[in-house]
Structure 1
């Protein structure tokens, strides 16, 4: 599902490579993952794509590297989609004017690879658009856990593409595997996921999508390693839970009458 671009010692699920790739996965039942978001990112004449997910009617989580660009960036969030190329009646499209990248984010090693986007107007919650919960600070998913990742786009490393949402099942790995591959791996803020025996993976453009375990979003698709499909690295959401909640509080304050962003 998620195929990663090769980039020096690490490769990122670069958004401009496509809407995502689920390798060894399957098409999901339409609108059965109502928390999924599709990010269209325009920088000048270039258009890139990433995944994301709704955690509150006014907030979407994604990967910071999706929006780490020079120049003017315009972001459109699409919710309620199954076939992303169609104008489905279920789709809600919102031009995003505000987002917050983690202050300690670094493209070198993709540390703190997390961004929170503010939706205004808020998403209309219905059967096709719902938010997903995320874990508390001390709630960690351990090695051996089976999780799922959803996205749109490539279905093989040869470039076959699909426009409908697909999903793959991936297993959380022992952190020593990723630590051995890169000194940039940080066990507190990252999750090591996927093994070569399953022949399933994520690739181009699935960045920002959620790692869902036990109906909670535990990770965010971040990056992989040079010349390898397995394992992949996800941002560990529980580590950033205090930061996320602080940003959500700020979003709420901005909606109060008289605040700079309440007009």
Structure 2
């Protein structure tokens, strides 16, 4: 599994943590996905990258495996970015003060692969930086639903990391496809997405990014399988929505309105 894309061009691999690249996708219109967050994760002398998305002005949602690393870890979130290699005027760089990994997260099989990152300062909501709504507990995706995944990850299994935000359209698959791939697949907390026929996927570096369906975040890029790029597994947000709300209350957030994000 893939996880973070390291500057050394090596991957921090969990079972295949982190679908991390956008394969078969295309560059999006700059700042048309204002909820997207680019995570820089520094651990000793290494720097890794993940995706994430803004759900409150001081909270980013991502994958637990992105920050579940030994040693001292520092995370910086970049909001309002399109080309992450440039210092765009639209960008807001904010340090993460703390994070909460789901208490039942399992690094061995990536069950409950979800983390909430609390920003040290509030993001400034504007045209380039906005929040995205998350799926509620009773909202379920049907097989065949067409969704989008954005990220700055690799663009092929042998490619380089993308400087600009790219996006791919992916279809929700039958649960049994992922269940056949692995006995660790849990239908209540995971989503099976992507098919071999379309040759499209997320990959290394895209971990933690959102699966967006009808302008709502329904999934989090989590992991795939060593021997296949397709399908891949996303953390099912609706299953974790009560836990997310509980953590937000603990963060003592006020109800600060966010403008609806465009899709």
TM, length-normalised to structure 1: 0.90
How far the C-alpha of 1:24 sits from its partner, in A, is: 0.5
1:21 corresponds to: 21
Q: In structure 1, what is the equivalent of residue 192 of structure 2?
A: 192
Residue 122 (structure 1) aligns with: 122
Aligned to 1:109: 109
Aligned to 1:37: 37
Query: CA–CA distance in 2 between the matches of 1:193 and 1:253?
Result: 33
Q: Tell me the number of residue pairs that the alignment of Structure 1 and Structure 2 aligns.
A: 247
Q: What residue number does 1:158 align with?
A: 158
Is the 2:220–2:234 Cα contact (8 Å) retained in structure 1? yes
How far 1:3 sits from its partner (Å)? Answer: 7.5
CA-CA distance at 1:52 after TM superposition: 0.1
Q: Deviations along 1:80-134, whole A, 9 cap, x unmatched?
A: 0000010000000011111100000001210000000011211000000000001
In structure 2, what is the Cα distance between the partners aligned to 1:213 and 1:64?
Answer: 22
Unaligned runs of 5+ in 2: 4-10, 255-263
Specify the SS of the correspondent of 1:244: helix
Is 2:167 aligned against 1:148? no
Cα displacement (A) at 1:138: 1.1
For residue 247 of structure 2, what is the aligned residue in structure 1? Answer: 247
Residue 6 of structure 2: aligned partner: none
How many angstroms apart in 1 are the aligned matches of 2:12 and 2:198? 21
8 Å Cα contact 1:3-1:23 kept in structure 2: no
Alignment match of 2:17 (pick from 12, 16, 31): 12
Q: Distance in 2 between matches of 1:253 and 1:131?
A: 14
- Aligned partner of 1:257 in structure 2 is none
1:68, 1:95 → 2: CA distance? Answer: 17
Gaps of 5+ in 1: 15-19, 255-263
Give the TM-score normalised by structure 2.
0.90
Provide the secondary structure at the position in 2 that maps to 1:180: helix
User: What CA deviation, in whole Å up to 9, does each residue of 1:186-244 have, x standing for no partner?
Assistant: 00000000000001111111100000000000000000011100000000000000000
Deviation above 6 Å: which 4+ runs of structure 1?
2-6
Q: Deviations over 1:145-198 (max 9, x none)?
A: 000000013211122332000000000000000011111000000000000000
